[in-house]
Structure 1
Amino acid sequence: MSLFKSLTAAALIQAALLLPAAAGDNLNAIQSAGTIKIGTEGTYAPFTFHDASGKLVGFDVEIGEAVAKKLGVKPQFIEGKWDGLIAGLDAKRYDVVINQVGITEARKQKYDFSDPYIASKAVLIVRDGNDEIKSFADLKGKKAAQSLSSNFGKIAQTAGAELVGTDGFDQSIQLVLTRRADATVNDSLSFLDFKKQKPDAPVKVVAEQADADFSGIIIRKGEPELVAAINKALADIKADGTYKKIADTYFGQDVSK
């Protein structure tokens, strides 16, 4: 065998030996280190935020902690701004991102996702005592408090509502409460969080869209063992009641579907 062929063969063997690590046997690395690095914002209540003492808390934080426990490792949360959060996976700053990342076809082209762990739906919210609006169709000719650039605003507009522009959920709900708007089409999770914080607020959900948007734990492509382990961990925390306990803490009900 020529020297060139020998070197080529050696190079191929070396590449083959390195391939499993390069392809992503990251689960073993995580378990060996005893830590899973989790990217998150830390500024997005009630999912990932800092409480009065400065501690990082939230629904997504507790989900990350529970998943890490099932994997037999400790969670290490690494905070970053949303704009660069997912890109941090590419830079290998962390192993996964847990930050209400919606599962979309576009994202699935570049990344893998766990099974969904939370669902949100568009819901129609009115003030208690309002019996005129019982469905999305009843919005025709009514005033809906909406963020004008949101999908929720488009739903209200399509139903024939007159839009009253707002900066988001908090302002929208206030306009409904003060009767400056008849209704708002908004996120079910935001409403559940609001009612958890203010259970006596005189607002109610009268309709919801059937289709839900799901979020999952986002992972680099080529980590099938890690995806499988995380999916098992999610299934386990649902089976043993951990998920329900976390969901009840932040939303007062199961939010997985």
Structure 2
Amino acid sequence: MNIRLNNATRAVVLAIVALFSVASVSAQTLLDQIKAAGVIKVGTEGTYAPFTYHDSTGTLVGFDVEIAREVARRIGVEAQFVEGKWDGLIAGLDAKRYDIVVNEVTITEARKAKYDFTKPYIVSKAVLIVREDNTTIKSFADLKGKRAAQSLTSNFGQLARDKGAIVVAVDGFNQGLDLLLSGRADAVINDNLSYLDFKKQKPDAKVKIVDSLESAEAQGILLRKGNEELLRALDKALAEMKADGTYIRISQKYFGEDVSK
């Protein structure tokens, strides 16, 4: 039997179908959407060796890049990297330009109030770097009134301000070192792993570490709150990587040791 609908009835039916379609999409979790798309969008700098940078061929590489790719693979999708300056990375997460940030983001109480973090996947210590010929800065206490080249929104930038330094804004660690070596800054604070990699690449660079913090800082993958399924999937992937030796392999490649503890 054929049922004919008048225009008014047809409009109501179409509206109901559309409503159910919208409800179905909105009921999807972020993890569902990522799996449906086949990619997870990852915010990262691309200028912060050895974590996320471009090699001589222009390819995006680094410790964080390999961690992100492996995590994505274990979730069943591909990692799609969206590069941006450090000071805009977290704002990009807020604007939903990407799903997660994998860029050596330190886990702090202030950030945890607004965002979720995976369990830590790397730890590092803050170090104070000056030129080799500098004899006036011997500790963090000597930073008062001195120029420290730092990313404004980084935890290192906040540490410099806490120590009374005048922060000279830079886009990242490499630019900070350029200012330091050229005399336009007196010091740079960053993590010990980045410094070791820099000296490995440029052993003749006239810089030195004069102080370090005793307490280690933990870094995790950053994501927006309210995405528990994605958070659990990320933590599961990281735990599997550590259990089967994949994490150690990546860590040894870039640092020669296990940097998860």
TM-score, length-scaled by structure 2: 0.66
Which residue, 14, 36, 50 being the options, matches 2:54? 50
Q: Give structure 2 stretches of 5+ with no counterpart.
A: 1-15, 131-137, 171-175
Counterpart residue number, 2:77: 73
**One-letter identity of the residue aligned with 1:246:** I
1:87-126 aligned within 5 A: 87-123=91-127
* Cα deviation 1:174-228 (Å, max 9, x = unaligned): 99xxxxx9x9986311233135435799999898543111211111111001000
Residues of 1 paired with 2:228 and 2:69: CA distance?
21
Counterpart residue number, 2:256: 252
State the Cα distance separating 1:112 from its structure 2 match.
0.9
Counterpart residue number, 2:32: 28
Q: CA separation of 1:155/1:204 partners in 2, compared to 1, >3 Å: closer, same or farther? A: farther
Counterpart residue number, 1:232: 236
* Cα deviation 1:32-61 (Å, max 9, x = unaligned): 222111111212222111111111111111
State the Cα distance separating 1:29 from its structure 2 match.
1.6
TM-score, length-scaled by structure 1: 0.67
Q: CA separation of 1:24/1:173 partners in 2, compared to 1, >3 Å: closer, same or farther? A: farther
CA RMSD, Structure 1 to Structure 2 (Å): 4.3
Counterpart residue number, 2:90: 86
* Cα deviation 1:127-177 (Å, max 9, x = unaligned): xxxxxxxx979x99xxx99759957768999xxxxxxx9x945777999xx
State the Cα distance separating 1:80 from its structure 2 match.
2.0
- 1:112 match: secondary structure: strand
Residues of 1 paired with 2:45 and 2:179: CA distance?
23
Q: Give structure 1 stretches of 5+ with no counterpart.
A: 1-10, 127-134, 158-164, 176-180
Residues of 2 paired with 1:254 and 1:122: CA distance?
18
Q: CA separation of 1:85/1:27 partners in 2, compared to 1, >3 Å: closer, same or farther? A: same
Count of residues paired in the alignment: 231
Greater alpha carbon shift after TM alignment, 220-229 vs 92-101: 92-101
